[in-house]
Amino acid sequence: MSQLTVAVLGTGIMGSAMARNIAVAEVMRETAPAMRPGAAWLQMTTVGPDDVAVLAAIAESAGVLFYDSPVSGTRQPAESGTLVIMTAGPASGRELVTPVLDAVGSRTVWTGEDGAAAPSTRLKLVVNSWVIAVSNAAGEIVTLAKAIGVPPAQFFEVLDGGGLDLPFLRIKADLVERGALSPANFAVDTSGKDAHLILDLAREAGLRLDGMEAFSARLDRVADAGHAHEDMAASYLAGFSTSTKTS
């Protein structure tokens, strides 16, 4: 969910799903004080754990219950209400927020009762590390196969039905083969932002993620070449001498 949007999701509930943490904080500072005491804020934007703590403090100062509630899913699941929502927040407000979570998503994974500690955001960044890695792999598989004279369909014939066969891998590879990069399900700039968040979190934990560093650099190069709003599968363009190839 990458557009700057705010939606009133139900009586006493506000949900935020925005691309940048600064925008969320600005909207919360304007909106939360007007909400009734005991109302709930569902924070669905993917930001860093430190940002979540800031947003939770804004909610607390307004007497509003705070739920760290990022989602797993892209444009189509959001439109069809089939997102998976990772949520952390006080048990006292679950009756209030559960109907909204059920309306927005098909499944909710509860990660704790302290939204300010950002357990759901941490989980979301782990999920997105996998999403970014698989998407990057899909692009490289297709471009490598074509470059060395292997039909990509033969690659998937080998994987078909086995443990290595992933629906998401097929989806992203198909986008690359067809050059169908717009409209984006998960855009280059948004996934690039998340890649930087993942790397920041890993460094804080004393880890070096060489693969994610490479994926992040590819996404940044493709964004700088004018593909920021195309699907993240466009990262494959970084493999060419210029990042303007479209098929």
Q: What is the CATH number of the domain that holds 104?
A: 3.40.50.720
pLDDT-derived band at 194 (thresholds 50, 70, 90) equals: very high
Number of neighbours of residue 221 by Cβ within 10 angstroms: 17
Summarize pLDDT for 93-146 with one digit per residue, the tens. 999 999 999 988 999 999 999 999 999 999 999 999 999 999 999 999 999 999
Judged against a pLDDT cut of 60, whether residue 16 lies above it is answered with no
Mark whether 59 and 152 lie in a shared domain: no
Mean pLDDT taken over the chain: 88
pTM (whole model) above 0.85:
yes
Judged against a pLDDT cut of 90, whether residue 90 lies above it is answered with yes
Summarize pLDDT for 100-113 with one digit per residue, the tens. 999 889 999 999 99
Judged against a pLDDT cut of 50, whether residue 7 lies above it is answered with no
Mark whether 127 and 233 lie in a shared domain: yes
Cα 32–Cα 39–Cα 33 angle in degrees, nearest 5: 20
- 65 is a domain residue: yes
Range of the domain at 211: 122-239
| Domain count along the chain | 2
Mark whether 38 and 141 lie in a shared domain: no
